[in-house]
Chains A and B, each alone.
Chain A
């Protein structure tokens, strides 16, 4: 059995069973993917590539959405 993948997601540590994609990460958090954008190691991951973008230990992910602002 593979050891879990350890990630930093929005600045906080998170572990996922290996193997895992960006889509798996969003599903594990329970986010509605239609309303967010994902950056992996400073690179945007287009929504269409979420299922085929594998995560690796040490990856830094940012998951953002629109909020109220001026």
Chain B
């Protein structure tokens, strides 16, 4: 990002252009109508989705597509729950067949309780997916060396965690997020860890191109209202980044003129 303010502050990933800098997950909602209402309120144009076995004993059960239209939203299939490169590649090949597109979110996870990105598995899966024609947005550790390597391999977006998935701990290592963004030539998104609106704004103030979150909305007391808050927060954080914040100083610097004081 060059910091120049333009009326069109859209961003681009893998040749696709988007206006919203908020990507939202579609999981963990009470039901599909609540999912649809929250996504609508978030203003998101990209939604992440998971790939799972269909319920063969209830083939008429409503599907996500019936409530969140793939014509209206760009579906970003993920590999949530995959702990090996093989599982992740297999899952995304099925996703491509189900949806017919190749823009995907890769995540290869370590064990509970942190589900921290398994970077060895992530590199292996990214290489296989890129060789197979996928455009890979990659969930990764907040490690600038790993992030650069993923970019050089051909990943189309780098998505370091703010904090563990679903933890709501915010952006716990802002210095490395900033370092990853400073060196990147592809979009950088904070993915996972955001818990509330101020944390989404903070991620954007660091210069990130977008934010990806799910639980912060789905597990809020009022998901639709939190979706609205996140939309505003991402916009506010982006504007604050572009506006370039004032410097910090421990000393005061009075805002009102000292000239003309009545006691002068």
Binding site for B on A (CB under 8 A): 9-12, 14, 29-32, 35-39, 42, 44, 46-47, 62-70
Contacts and interface: CB of A to CB of B under 8 A. Distances in A.
A30 B60 contact: yes
Contact of A69 (B49, B53, B97, B99): B49
Given A42-B90, A64-B98, A12 B28 contact: no
Contacts of A39: 90, 94
Nearest to B70: A66
State which size class the interface on B falls in.
35 or more
Interface of B: 25-29, 32, 35, 48-54, 56, 59-60, 63-65, 75, 77-78, 80, 90, 93-95, 97-99, 165-166, 192, 213-215, 218
A67 B26 CA distance: 8
Nearest to B50: A69
B97 A30 contact: no
Given A64-B51, A65-B64, A68-B32, 12 more contacts: A14-B56, A29-B56, A38-B97, A39-B90, A44-B97, A65-B52, A65-B54, A66-B49, A67-B51, A67-B63, A69-B49, A70-B80
Interface of B is mostly: mixed
A37 B98 contact: yes
A66 B51 contact: yes
A66 B51 CA distance: 5
A30 B29 CA distance: 27
